[in-house]
Amino acid sequence: MEIRLEEDLREDRMTIEIVDNGCGMDEEMIQRALDPFFTTKTVRRVGLGLPLLSEACRISNGQLCLQSSPGQGTKVRATFQHSHIDRQPLGNMGDTLITLIVGHPEVDLFYGHRKDGASFSLDTREIKGALGDVPLNEPRVVSALRRHILAGLEELAA
C-alpha cells in the first residue's frame, strides 16, 4: 500500500493518493463505490469512506478520482484547495501511520509526504529488511518508529 501526500502552498493545492494492490474494482463497482449505501463489507450496510472523502474534496474546490481494474488494485486521488476554509485538517499523521503499521505489520506500507520542496518518506519493506526477524509491532521498534515519524513530519511542519 502506498500513501502519498503533497502540499503545494504556492499552487494552493493538497493532494492525497492512496494506492493498493488489492482485488480492484470494475467500472460498475467504481460508480457504486461513491454511493453511501453501497459497501462490500458484511459487518455493516453502508460504506461512507469514499463518499465522505468525495464530498470533502468537492466543498474545498477539489475532486476525487478513482482508478481501478479487477485484479490490479485501486488508486484514489483526492485534491483540495489547501487554503480553503472548509478543507478538513489532516489530523495527526504520526499517530495514523503508527496505527496502520502496528495494526497491520504484515502489510507493506510506503508513506511519502512532500511540502514545498521538503520531503519525508517511510517504507516498511526497508525497515523489515533491516530488522530481520524482529516484528514491526515489537514495543522497542514501535517506539523508534514513532520517534522517526514524528521527527520527519516535524521537519515538514506537518
pLDDT tens readout for residues 14-29: 999 999 998 898 888 8
Q: What pLDDT is stored for residue 26 in this prediction?
A: 85
Average pLDDT along the chain = 91
Distances (CA, A) of 134 to 92, 96, 99, 128, 138: 26, 22, 18, 8, 7
Split at pLDDT 50, 70, 90, the class of 59 is very high
Predicted local confidence at residue 33, as pLDDT: 82
User: CB of 24 within 8 A of CB of 68?
Assistant: yes
Domain limits, CATH 3.30.565.10, in the chain? 1-88
CATH: 3.30.230.80, 3.30.565.10, 3.40.50.720, 3.30.70.3340. Which one for 1-88?
A: 3.30.565.10
Write down the pTM of the prediction.
0.87
Average pLDDT, integer, range 8-18? 97
